[in-house]
Amino acid sequence: MKKYNNKISASVMCSDLLNLEKDIRTLENLGVDMLHIDVMDAHFVPNLTFGPDFIKAMQAHTHLPVDCHFMVTEPDLMYSKLQMRKGDIFTVHAEVDRDYRYMADPLHASGALFGIAINPDTPVEAVERHLPYTDLVLLMTVYPGFAGSKLVEGIMEKVGQMRSFLDERGYQDIEISVDGSVSNERANYMASLGASVFVCGTASLYRKGMSLEETVPEFRQAITL
């Protein structure tokens, strides 16, 4: 299996939103690789979170890439309002049935990356049509919508299934991201199965009674194989 540079994507949704800039500066100083922004529309998932203006504000206030996960029924509305930078990630869902090449090509031209996500009950085969223009596959390991959700039983094995699925089709360069209840121990195991981008929320970086100065180095150690 190809060796990847494992990366921490800190979930902004789990930050102290009234002191977000302070958290961002701390995450930057601690060497977090990117900031994960969950965009929800209260239709695709039962929650409403951030939108294009928030993403633009984040881009203006950090040098870190923004790892944007669009859990929306109309991704075109978001795509038309954003300018992604080099290293930023624009991830949409395979469950929204369309060919996304019209998004991926301009993103690649700007140096950004295109991701395709699937929910826990969606089979790995659902990503196949998108692979020629995909940089990253995001596997939801919880049912999406809210922070602190419970890990779906048996879902971690899907990482190995996806890695084999990609490798067998010649897509060794496509990375796997995991999102949902990603604790240190689970991240370590999923890294061994082929995950390389870890969306970190309340199970890892934002743990009660612990500071980011404590949790970030611990998590980094967990994904350093």
Enumerate the active-site residues: 38, 179
DSSP E strands, the chain: 7-11, 34-40, 66-71, 89-93, 113-118, 136-140, 175-179, 197-200
For residue 57, the surrounding DSSP H or E stretch is helix 52-61
Residue written as token pair 């084999």: 164
- In sequence order, what are the residues at sequence separation of 6 or more whose Cβ sits closer than 8 angstroms to the Cβ of residue 41? 48, 71, 72, 73, 74
Q: Label the pairing between strands 175-179 and 136-140.
A: parallel
Amino acid type, 175:
E
